[in-house]
Structure formats: structure tokens, C-alpha cells
Structure 1
Amino acid sequence: MSTVRHAAQPNSIHEETEGYSPHRKPTIVLACLGVLVAYLPVVGVSTALPAIQQALGASTASLQWITDAFIIPTTALVLTFGVIGDLLGRKRVYLTGLGLSVAGCLVAITAPGVDQLYVGQALAGAGTAALMASTIGLITHVCPDSRTRTRAIGAWTASLALGLTLSPLFDGQILEHAGWRWIYLPTLLLGAATAVIGANHLTDSRADRELHHDLPGQVMVIIGITCLVFGFIEGGGSGGWTSPLVVCAFAAAFMAMAGFVAVELESPNPMFDLRLFRSREFTGAAIAMAVLMFAQVGMVFSLSEYFGLVEHASAWDVGVRLIAINGLTVVLAPAVGRLTGHLARGLVLFAGLVVAGVGALLVTRFEAGTGAGTIMLVIAVMGVGIALAMPTITSVAIDSVPRGLASTAGSSNSALRQIGSALGPAVFGVLLTNRIVATLPVHLAASGLNPVDQGNVTGLVSTKGIQVGAYLQLSTRQATGRALAAYSESFTDALHSSALVSGVAVLAAALISAFFIGVRHRTE
């Protein structure tokens, strides 16, 4: 591989630039706008899936891949875009990310069918990967000191959470007054405006050290992550975990990732520096990030399905009920950034993970008649924990390595965030389905429904998917009511199982963070 050296350029900030930069504030603002554009479409498409299904006649498998077409490139490309930013400049990657996001929205908003929608989602996902990699890199270069960087990361995390919070609210209103295609309009307009501002006001930065293109590493990590996510998605589908396609996907993922590790260990300047894991703090933060995102996104997925299918809440109502999970991060993340300047970060992280885990476990107390106030209070407990943990994890990961590796640490942290986010819905979707199918016959028998209707309902849910159970229509109103009540009880059981898995996973992450990072960790 050819070695690339960069000479100093007048419009760039390099690794050696220490102290205050006059470009700090506009860079931080534009980084926050970039991550807002990146995460604005993440949740919204999921809320629009029923409308897309009706408009395009999409199958259940097609609906799954509409979401996954976004997730896979986001997960697979974030490390690659981090390397490209180090080589060619993060401003270029930032503007490329905005361009891909806008292009993806344009393709999706004009899609006549699901195939073009897949392409639009994939382009938007690639744009999100570029924005995730570049925005953290831009921040680390204009914030050389730990305290300032922690506050900037708090604002960056708040912007990320703001995108996740606003998305279902915006899209809920759009779906009530317009067609599903218009859910892409806010991202399109904000992305285009941010690109114009960034092109004129963002100062470039890149790594001022020897770098290799590391093409084998980039190819292997893309193949490995793509096959891993694909295996989990297909494993939860009709083919099952033992189908040849799923087994081959996992085998390919294992071989590609093993090859990636071997290549990176031999490379004098790897795209993913495995020396990062020599730091106990980075290792603890990496595990905590992946587990927290897996549990959080999986729990949001489970609650969204529960509110929509059992309580028949609208997209707007679902967004309002879940607003505290990410909305509290918007409010509290900047304060958490200041808090970690006075308290040990390990203690703040441990406390946040414990609170988030307890909040998830409290969801096991939900029943069909649980009031909206109680639901929102429990979700707020989870939101407080996530608000404490999320910016702290990112700060620990970046500050636990030498500054020359800070950008790599940021990209690695983002990659782990996306891997956890991708696996959450896949695994929790399988958990919901299996639990509902397993408990539904018991609840149907207890409901007093006749054996023929019991068999029909069980067969429909088993073969057509758990969504059909929310819209059952039997021969009489009484029979329909009994079937829907049994379905509700089965789904509640499944929600409790999801909450248990989520809560235990986050509490385990808290113990792991205490072991690797400690509760007295304060990076100087």
C-alpha cells in the first residue's frame, strides 16, 4: 500500500495545532448540525412502515429490508470514512456525507416502489456513516484539551439525541396530513442548508502523520460487518438460524473479521489501531457503548411495537410516549459534560448505566391497563440513565488514548454504536416473535375461544407475523374481543421478556465499566 504524507495547507487544522482555535465554535456548531442530519431519518422511517406497506404493497420481508438498507451501510462504512477523513480531510467527508444524505432523500421521496426506496435508504445510511466519522474528528481537532472536548461531545450527543427525538414527532404529524414520501423532506432541506453553510464556514482538518490506504482492512471490515448484521436479520426471519444462507453469512463474517484483525496487526499504520484495546478505559467504554445501544434501541423497538400493535397508538402518540428516552439526553447532555469536569467519569458512567438498567427492568411492571403517566415516568428513568451514560462513554473512549489516536477512537466508538443499534431490532424482534408465538396458545385457551378459532389465530400469527394479531377479525364480535385480549396478554409477556434482557444487559455493562474503568476514573 502506498504511504501518504500531507504537507501543511493554509485552510486546514493539523494534529499538532494545540490551544485555542478561532474556528472552534463554528466547527462545533456544524458538527452538531451534521449529526442532527445524520440521525433525523433513523427512527422516522420505522414509524412510516405501515403507510409504506399500504401505498407500495410491500411484504413484511420488504419492510424489514427498508430499515436494514439504511442500517447496514451505516454500520459497515463508518470506519472507512474515518480513514478517508484522515487521508483527504474531514471537511470533504463531512460534505460528502451531507450530499449522500440529501441524495438518498431525493431518491426515496420519488420512489415508485420498494427497490428504489432501498437505494435511497442505502445512500442515506452511507451519508450517516460519513457524518458520524467526520463530526467527531472535527471536534477532537478544535478541542485539544479534555474539558473543552467533553463539553463539545456533550453538545454533539445532545444533537444526536435531538434527531432521534424529533424524528417520530415530525413524521407523526406529516403522516397525519400528507403521504409517507414527505417524511424525507426535513432531512433533505436541513442537509442541503447545512452543506451550503459548511462549504463556506467549516475549516478542514486531517491527520498530519504517515497514513496507509489500508484497502484490505477496509474491504474486510465492510464484508465482516455486513455479513454479521445480515446473518442476525435473516436468522430472525422465516429461514431460521440454521438455514444455509444464515450459516454462510456468519461464517463469512467470522473469516472476514479474523482476516481484518490479522491485517491490522501487521500494518504499520492500520485503519483500526488495535492498540486502542491496550487501554482498559477504552475497552470498557467500547463494550459499554455496544451493549447500551443494543439494549436501548432494542427496548425502543419493543415499546414502539407494543404501543402501536397492542394500544393502537398513532405515530405521534408513540413518539410522545418515548420522547424521554432520547429527549432527556438533549436537555442533560451539556450539563453532564460539565458534571464530568468535577466528578470522576467512571462514577458518572456507572451511575448512568445502573439507572438505565433499572428503568428497563421497571418495564416488566407494564400491563395492558398501565396509565400513560406511569409509562412516561418509567421511560424517563431510562432516559436519565442514558443521558448520564452516553456522552460520558464517548468522552472516556476518546480521552483514554493519545491524541493522535483520538479520531480513530471516535470512529471506532461510532462503529460500535452502530453495530449495537443494528443488532438491537434484529435480536429483540426475534425475541418478541418467539415469545408471542410460544405464549399465545395458552392465553387463547384461557380466553374461552373455541378450538377452531384458537387454531386459526395461532396459525395466522405464526405464518404471517406478529403484526396481523393486532387486526384480527373473527366470525363474531365476542370471539374477536377474546382473541385480541389473548394477543394483548401474549405481547405483554413478550415485552416483559425484552425488558428483562435489556435491563440485565445494561446492568452487566455497568459492572464491566466498573471493572475496566473504575468509579474514580478522571482523564487528565
Structure 2
Amino acid sequence: MVILDGSIVSVALPSIQHSLGFSSSSLAWVVNAYLIPFGGLLLLAGRLGDLIGRKRVFIAGLGIFTAASLLCGVSQDPAVLLASRFVQGIGGAVASAVTLGMVVTLFPQPRERAKAIGVYSFVQSAGGSIGLLAGGALTQTVGWHWIFFVNVPIGMVAVLSAWRVLASEQGVGLGKGTDVMGALLVTSALMLGVYTIVETTTYGWASTHTLSSGAVALAALVAFIARQAKTPHPLLPLRVFRSRNVSGALGVQALMVAGMFSFQFLCVLYLQKVLGFDEIHTGLGIFPVAVAIGTLSLGLSPKAIARFGPRTVLLPGLALIAAGLAALGRVPAGGSYAVDVLPALLPLGIGFGLAMPALATLAMSAATPEDSGIASSMFNTMQQIGAAFGLAALSTLANTRTNALLGDGVNTVSALTSGYQLAFRIGACLVAGAVVLAAALLRSSAPAQRPAVEEMPVAEHAAH
């Protein structure tokens, strides 16, 4: 539900603009108002899960998200919608931050954990793809308000189910990590960092606004890291970065998502503005990616990770993603979906279905029960930062190329296509960089076969 919301809104933006009277410049804030708190609060929410219990934090996040979705749906004014989207982003961050941490804690055995992480990866990727299809169908049939109303019954069922099914846990206690100053520093750094990235589409990468706000965000992040090295009860224990596989996996993920996430946005534009697809057919056009991801995440990936180790599965997955993006970089202005787009989408879906569960396994490989919440939130934070950076950078490159060609007298369809081609090729280069980084940093051992909770007391095993 949380991941789906990010893509379901993008399809409905034209209807929201027409209904509520958003200007072209302010319309982007329907997305940004959600992304900024989502990306900024993940680390804090993840640590709170370790301190006061992941179940409590998860249910609280779901409740906030569901209530905010209702407010979004009844909004009749741009300011009300943006405020509701901001609160929705808070709820999404709080719920998402602890999810992967609960998965690795609830499934300590390697094979069962590999299956669970495969399901987790499938749900994430399927949410994004289904959101495009659902957003188009709901917007065209019953109106944009229902892209938010649909969250309310799902959220209520999720809250009730989590309350009944998940085992209660006390956490390690607020006294083990109530670093208020650290929380303020990292939340400010991440929120300002995401804000800086998403606003580059308005101000540009070399503008005074971008450079100054980026410098402040970086200074706050450096101050946070320095504080974590000295404080007795850090919000983010730096020991989690001692694992080469964990640190390497987070870097690989940022590059992979930066290249991969933008494909959906740019491919939607290509299908609609160049091939002339409507919203529903656009969603159907992207859907094979979700099918491929689901098939791999739920079937082959968990078995392959358990047998060969996550690094061995990750490398060919990344290579397939890079190949798919490179193929999209060759789509012509007079292209065909069956000939030019679909053959590129299949390796993207297969590659992501292999790579994402492997990356999640590596990123959580050194997490203890006390740190699984913060490890989960770091994984999600890198995903959000990579997505924001990739989308802002690649869409800016695409627009710049398109505008330059239009100024030279090239027709609109050809200029748009050339811009999309450039962005896809740069995305392929980013993922190729992830392949190099993974090959150089990640170890060939199979962390999935060494439970991260091997030291968990017997009583805690019984509780779970």
C-alpha cells in the first residue's frame, strides 16, 4: 500500500491539477510533499522500532498513513492536499522503516529468511507497477479521490491484522538510544537533502539554491556522524557499517535504484507522449516488469540465494538491469511496443527480481535483533535517496536534451525520444557502476547461510 501510493499518484496528477487548480510549478509538490518526510524520517523511525518495539511503530505508521489517506481523498483545496500528503509521508516512513527488520527477526533460518525477503521484494516492486495500472483505472472511472480512498479499508485491515498476528516486543528501551540532538540532525539532513534533490528540476544542479541547501544538508549529516561516534547511546550505531557486505550493499543499492527507478517514470512518458498510450494501456505496458519480478522474487531468487549466496545472484541480476536500460536507450521515435519496449522490459524485471532480494539479504546480513530496525531503515533510506537523485538527474538530462533539439527545429516526438534515450543510457551506466562496485567490495561468502540472529536468546525465539 505504501509503495503503491508513490506510483498511483503520478498517473492522477493531470486530473488533480484540473480539479484543484494547481499551477504547473506547484503540481510537483503533490509528489514532493510525500517524498521529503518519507525519506527524512526513515532512520529515526527505524531506531524507534528498536527502542520501543517494532510492532508498536509499525502499527502507528499504518494508522497515520491510513488517516492521512482519508484526508487526501476529501481534500478540496491544494493546501489541504499538500498538508495531508506530508502527514501521509510521515506515516509511510514510520511503517516502512521497521518492515524488513521484522522480516529478518521473525525468520531466523536462512532458507525461510530468503523466501521471506523474496516476498518482501516482490511486494515492493509489485506495488510500484500495480500503482500505475490502478491509478489509471481509478482516475478514469471514478475520479482521482479514490486513489487515496482505496488505502482506507486496506489500511484498517492491515492495522487489525498486525495487532492480532505480530508478537509483542518491548524493544531495548529508550534509555539505550534517546539521542535527541542526533535525531534532529539526521532528520534535518535527510529531509533537506531530499528537498534539495527534488528541487533541482526547478533550480538546476549548479544554482545557488541547490548548492547552499545541499551544503547545509551535508554539514548536518557530517555533524550527525561525528556525534554518533562519541555519544554513549547513538541513534545510529556506527558498528553496523563495519561489515563490508552491508556497506557495499547500501552503495550498490543507491546506484541500482538511481538507474532503475527512473525507468518507470521515463518509460511511462515514452509510452504516452511518443507511442500515444492512455493511462490504462500504459499501466498494462509496464505490468510485465512486475510479473517478471514476482516470478523471480517468489521462486528462483530465494532458492538461488540459499544455495549460491547473495553475491553470486546479485551480479547477473545487475547485469540484466543494465542491459535492459541500454536496450531502452535505443527506442526509436516511430517505435513499436512489442518490438522495441517489451524485449527491454523483460531483462529489467528478471534482473530486479534477482538483485533486490540479494541486496536486502546482504544489507541485513550483520543486523542483530537490537539493530534490525535501524538496518531496515538504512536500506529503505538508501532506496529513497537513490530514487530521488536518479529521477531528478535523469529527468533533467532528458529535458535538457529535448529542449536543445526543439530549439534546433527538431520535431517534438523525435526530440522527446532523444531525451528519453539519453536518460536510459545514463541509467544503464549507473547500474553498470553498481556491477563494478559489487564485484569489487562484496565478498563471495553466503551471508544468508549465517543467521543474523544466531545469538538471540531461546526465550525470544519462542516469542517469535
Same fold, TM-score > 0.5, yes or no: yes
1:292 aligns with 2:217: no
1:316 aligns with 2:316: no
Match of 1:408 in 2: 374
How far apart, CA to CA, are the structure 2 residues paired with 1:93 and 1:522?
Answer: 28
Determine if contact 2:198/2:388 at 8 Å carries over to the other structure. Answer: no
Match of 1:343 in 2: 308
Shift, 1:243, TM fit: 3.9
Match of 1:480 in 2: none
Q: 1:503 aligns with which of 428, 443, 454?
A: 428
Determine if contact 1:289/1:393 at 8 Å carries over to the other structure. Answer: yes
1:94 aligns with 2:19: no
How far apart, CA to CA, are the structure 2 residues paired with 1:412 and 1:226?
Answer: 14
User: Size of the alignment, in residue pairs?
Assistant: 446
Match of 1:436 in 2: 402
Shift, 1:330, TM fit: 2.1
Shift, 1:176, TM fit: 1.6
What does residue range 113-128 of structure 1 map to in structure 2 within 5 Å? 113-128=77-92
Shift, 1:278, TM fit: 1.9
How far apart, CA to CA, are the structure 1 residues paired with 2:87 and 2:318?
Answer: 33
Match of 1:50 in 2: 14
Shift, 1:228, TM fit: 1.4
Match of 1:517 in 2: 442
Match of 1:232 in 2: 197
1:422 aligns with 2:403: no
The Cα offsets for residues 2-24 of structure 1, whole Å up to 9 and x where unpaired, read as xxxxxxxxxxxxxxxxxxxxxxx
How far apart, CA to CA, are the structure 2 residues paired with 1:134 and 1:226?
Answer: 19
Query: Tell me, which stretches of 5 or more residues in structure 2 are unaligned?
Result: 451-464
What does residue range 258-273 of structure 1 map to in structure 2 within 5 Å? 258-273=222-237
Shift, 1:367, TM fit: 0.7
How far apart, CA to CA, are the structure 1 residues paired with 2:370 and 2:314?
Answer: 24
SS of structure 2 residue aligned to 1:258: helix
How far apart, CA to CA, are the structure 1 residues paired with 2:42 and 2:283?
Answer: 28
Shift, 1:312, TM fit: 2.9
Shift, 1:236, TM fit: 2.1
How far apart, CA to CA, are the structure 1 residues paired with 2:447 and 2:16?
Answer: 48
The Cα offsets for residues 286-317 of structure 1, whole Å up to 9 and x where unpaired, read as 01111111111112111112222223321111
What does residue range 375-524 of structure 1 map to in structure 2 within 5 Å? 375-402=341-368, 404-444=370-410, 486-523=411-448, 524=450
How far apart, CA to CA, are the structure 1 residues paired with 2:366 and 2:98?
Answer: 20
Shift, 1:145, TM fit: 2.6
The Cα offsets for residues 382-437 of structure 1, whole Å up to 9 and x where unpaired, read as 11111100111001111144554333222211111111122222222211211111
SS of structure 2 residue aligned to 1:93: helix
Letter of the 2:73 partner, please give it: I
Match of 1:359 in 2: 324
The Cα offsets for residues 149-195 of structure 1, whole Å up to 9 and x where unpaired, read as 22111111111222112211112111221211111122222111111
SS of structure 1 residue aligned to 2:199: helix
Letter of the 1:70 partner, please give it: Y
What does residue range 241-252 of structure 1 map to in structure 2 within 5 Å? 241-252=205-216
Higher Cα Rg: structure 1 or 2?
Answer: 1
Q: 1:148 aligns with which of 112, 121, 129?
A: 112
SS of structure 2 residue aligned to 1:111: coil
Q: Which moved more, 1:80-89 or 1:272-281?
A: 272-281
Match of 2:460 in 1: none
Shift, 1:355, TM fit: 0.6
Q: Which moved more, 1:43-52 or 1:203-212?
A: 203-212
What does residue range 188-227 of structure 1 map to in structure 2 within 5 Å? 188-208=152-172, 211-227=176-192
The Cα offsets for residues 119-173 of structure 1, whole Å up to 9 and x where unpaired, read as 1211221121112112222222222233322211111111122211221111211
Match of 2:461 in 1: none
Letter of the 2:436 partner, please give it: L
CA distance 1:93–1:522, shift in 2 (3 Å):
closer
SS of structure 2 residue aligned to 1:112: coil
How far apart, CA to CA, are the structure 2 residues paired with 1:348 and 1:186?
Answer: 36
CA RMSD in angstroms comes to 1.7
How far apart, CA to CA, are the structure 1 residues paired with 2:170 and 2:330?
Answer: 50
How far apart, CA to CA, are the structure 2 residues paired with 1:407 and 1:93?
Answer: 10
Determine if contact 2:125/2:290 at 8 Å carries over to the other structure. Answer: yes
SS of structure 2 residue aligned to 1:399: coil
The Cα offsets for residues 23-60 of structure 1, whole Å up to 9 and x where unpaired, read as xxxxxxxxxxxxxx221211010000111111122112
What does residue range 154-193 of structure 1 map to in structure 2 within 5 Å? 154-193=118-157
Match of 1:63 in 2: 27
Determine if contact 2:47/2:373 at 8 Å carries over to the other structure. Answer: no
SS of structure 2 residue aligned to 1:340: helix
Shift, 1:334, TM fit: 2.0
Question: Which of 1 and 2 has higher RCO (CA within 8 Å, sep 6+)?
Answer: 2
TM norm structure 1: 0.82
How far apart, CA to CA, are the structure 1 residues paired with 2:190 and 2:403?
Answer: 30
Determine if contact 1:288/1:512 at 8 Å carries over to the other structure. Answer: yes
Letter of the 1:423 partner, please give it: F
Determine if contact 1:40/1:187 at 8 Å carries over to the other structure. Answer: no
Shift, 1:196, TM fit: 1.8
Determine if contact 2:102/2:372 at 8 Å carries over to the other structure. Answer: no
How far apart, CA to CA, are the structure 1 residues paired with 2:359 and 2:213?
Answer: 31
Determine if contact 1:224/1:257 at 8 Å carries over to the other structure. Answer: yes
Match of 2:457 in 1: none
Shift, 1:369, TM fit: 2.1
Match of 2:247 in 1: 283
Instruction: Give the % identical residues.
Output: 26
